[in-house]
Amino acid sequence: MKTTLIATLLICLPLFAACDDGAPAGSEYNGFYQVTLSQERASCSDQDAWTPSDIMEPYFKLKAQSFFGTPIIGWISCTAEIEDTCDDETIDLMGTFVRKDGIWQQYMTTSSSGGGETTCHLTYRQGIPALTESGLSITVTRWEGEITLEAGEECDPDLVDRYFDQMDCTQMEYLEATRL
């Protein structure tokens, strides 16, 4: 009986050891934040000055979690300076970060047809977070482009990767937030 128990433990031990009970990917960003700075510029040129912009959402929470098996850093909206005002059951998909090309980022692509069957307008929005001494910063960049579709192509957001080199950087946003 003892031999069977020891053999079972020896067989199962590597399986239990292989389980990762550590913090989920992206947990270094977990926290409740207050936006302290919001800026934008109408182009991506360093020669254009940043201008202040309205703080649309002064409080938010970030939480590393799984979304249908994919690791994400969920953006959770909060209505006041108290963490109890955060709706932990609802994540804002526009603000949520995914790991793409090894980098945590907000990532959104869109497409729209216009000007005939061969014209497609593409947009790509990317927000990159960076931890700071007091919390984090997020730099958002937006690219746009109007491309001519090849025969058989349909206007689809998946075309952004293919035609990215034909898109122009059109806008940037910068946000700083303090971890409370």
Q: Give the mean pLDDT of 142-161.
A: 92
pTM of the model: 0.80
Whether residue 2 is contained in a domain is answered as no
Q: What are 81-133's pLDDT values in tens digits? A: 998 999 888 889 889 999 998 999 999 999 998 766 789 999 999 999 999 99
Whether residue 3 is contained in a domain is answered as no
Best CA proximity match to 51, nearest among 178, 176, 172: 172
φ, ψ of residue 66 to 5 degrees: the values are -115, 135
Domain containing residue 174: 24-179
Whether residue 5 is contained in a domain is answered as no
Handedness of CA 58, 90, 171, 179 (dihedral sign): positive
Q: What are 39-70's pLDDT values in tens digits? A: 999 989 888 999 999 999 999 999 999 889 89
Q: What are 17-31's pLDDT values in tens digits? A: 344 457 789 999 999
CB atoms within 10 A of CB 63: 20
Whether residue 94 is contained in a domain is answered as yes
What six digits make up the tokens of 52?
Answer: 């202040």
Domains identified in the chain, total number: 1
Whether residue 76 is contained in a domain is answered as yes
Whether residue 4 is contained in a domain is answered as no
